[in-house]
């Protein structure tokens, strides 16, 4: 149903266009395809629309044009190409079907989002900023930055930083900017800090400085109440980037953490020590 054809070939008629972004490595994209889009109910959602499929990796210009931050994403366009709705992610069939039907039938959400953002609420500002990334990126970034200055215990402020980090790193391909967003997120969101730390280190590696990313893991592991997850991410980072000098440092950190580790954490650290005896 979602064929990989040129988007411009589908625009300009009298029907809306649905563009589905996915990738072979995206597990949730496969679940969406099998559990929804391969069914009669799923196909019926897009009856009367033109449809286009886009590979996130093979069509980077299109992914950037629509500011695709997560996969799978379906963007619904008016016949003139203006976005009127989108569905981001996939967890369960019923919820996705409801969201897709709403996106297909929706009008331009920006006016309503602007009215809500005028209240100054971080969640409303975050929603407007994210929606504007595909239309007016500079304005969208400005709204997201405003939302991110909310209190640390406001989920919307933390979500705004996640959006900014993914936008600069994945959409715009600017790790030099994204690293500062990831660093701020790691400091402000302890619950999700190790994931932000991984993205920070990834950005440093992409800038040709894997040693900076490795050092960040070293500091985080020394501070962590449960270092096992940080050590595992550190080893994964070093392996993916072929950063050989990290091997001895990670092993030493694992050996220092092992005596106080218990249960699954201890098993994980012992496995790391064993694997670190092999080439990265």
CATH number (domain holding residue 252): 1.25.40
Same domain, 264 and 231: yes
Q: Which of 153, 172, 191 is the last residue of a domain?
A: 172
pLDDT of residue 151: 80
Overall domain count for the chain: 3
> Average of pLDDT values for 247-258?
95
Same domain, 150 and 194: no
Q: What is the model's pTM?
A: 0.87
Q: Which of 145, 172, 199 is the last residue of a domain?
A: 172
Do the domain assignments include residue 164?
yes
Do the domain assignments include residue 272?
yes
Q: Is it true that the peptide bond before 176 is cis, omega within 30 degrees of 0?
A: no
Is the Cβ–Cβ distance between 73 and 8 less than 8 Å?
no
pLDDT of residue 203: 98
Task: Provide the residue range defining the domain that includes 28.
Answer: 7-105
Same domain, 120 and 76: no
pLDDT of residue 190: 64
Same domain, 179 and 278: yes
Q: Which of 79, 105, 131 is the last residue of a domain?
A: 105
Same domain, 180 and 158: no
Same domain, 81 and 142: no
| Token pair listed for 268 | 């994980």
pLDDT of residue 192: 61
Same domain, 243 and 276: yes
Same domain, 272 and 179: yes
| Token pair listed for 237 | 């980072």
Same domain, 37 and 129: no
Do the domain assignments include residue 26?
yes
Of the pLDDT bands very low, low, confident and very high (cuts 50, 70, 90), residue 263 is very high
Same domain, 52 and 139: no
- pLDDT digits over 3-59, tens only? 888 999 999 999 999 999 999 999 999 999 999 999 999 999 999 999 999 999 999
> Average of pLDDT values for 197-214?
96
Report the percent of the chain where pLDDT is more than 70.
98
At residue 279, does pLDDT exceed 70? no
Q: Rounded to a whole number, what is the distance in angstroms from the first to the last CA of the chain?
A: 42
Do the domain assignments include residue 248?
yes
Q: Residue 79: which of 29, 11, 156, 180 has the closest Cα?
A: 11
Report the CATH number at residue 63: 3.40.30.10
Same domain, 123 and 23: no
Report residue 76: phi and psi, to 5°: -105, 130
**Nearest-angstrom CA–CA distance, 140 and 237:** 31
**Nearest-angstrom CA–CA distance, 109 and 116:** 11
Do the domain assignments include residue 99?
yes
Per the DSSP assignment, residues forming a β-bridge with 21 are 54, 73
**Nearest-angstrom CA–CA distance, 142 and 194:** 26
Same domain, 95 and 119: no
């Amino acid at each position: 149903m979602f064929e990989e054809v040129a988007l411009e070939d589908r625009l300009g008629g009298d029907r809306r266009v649905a563009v589905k972004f996915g990738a072979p490595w995206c597990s949730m994209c496969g679940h969406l395809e099998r559990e929804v889009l391969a069914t009669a109910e799923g196909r019926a959602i897009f009856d009367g629309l033109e449809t286009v499929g886009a590979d996130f990796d093979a069509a980077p210009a299109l992914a950037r044009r629509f500011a695709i931050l997560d996969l799978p994403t379906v963007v619904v366009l008016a016949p003139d190409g203006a976005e009127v709705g989108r569905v981001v992610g996939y967890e369960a069939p019923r919820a996705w079907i409801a969201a897709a039907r709403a996106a297909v039938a929706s009008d331009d959400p920006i006016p309503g989002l602007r009215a809500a953002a005028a209240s100054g609420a971080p969640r409303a500002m975050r929603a407007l900023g994210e929606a504007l990334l595909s239309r007016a990126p500079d304005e969208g970034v400005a709204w997201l930055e405003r939302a991110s200055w909310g209190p640390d215990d406001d989920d919307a402020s933390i979500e705004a930083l996640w959006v900014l980090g993914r936008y600069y790193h994945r959409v715009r391909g600017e790790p030099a900017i994204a690293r500062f967003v990831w660093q701020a997120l790691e400091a402000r969101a302890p619950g999700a800090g190790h994931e932000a730390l991984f993205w920070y280190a990834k950005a440093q590696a992409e800038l040709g400085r894997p040693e900076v990313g490795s050092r960040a893991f070293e500091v985080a592991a020394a501070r962590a109440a449960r270092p096992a997850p940080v050590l595992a991410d550190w080893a994964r980072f070093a392996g993916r980037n072929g950063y050989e000098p990290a091997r001895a440092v990670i092993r030493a950190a694992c050996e220092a953490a092992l005596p106080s580790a218990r249960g699954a954490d201890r098993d994980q650290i012992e496995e790391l020590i064993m694997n670190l005896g092999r080439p990265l």
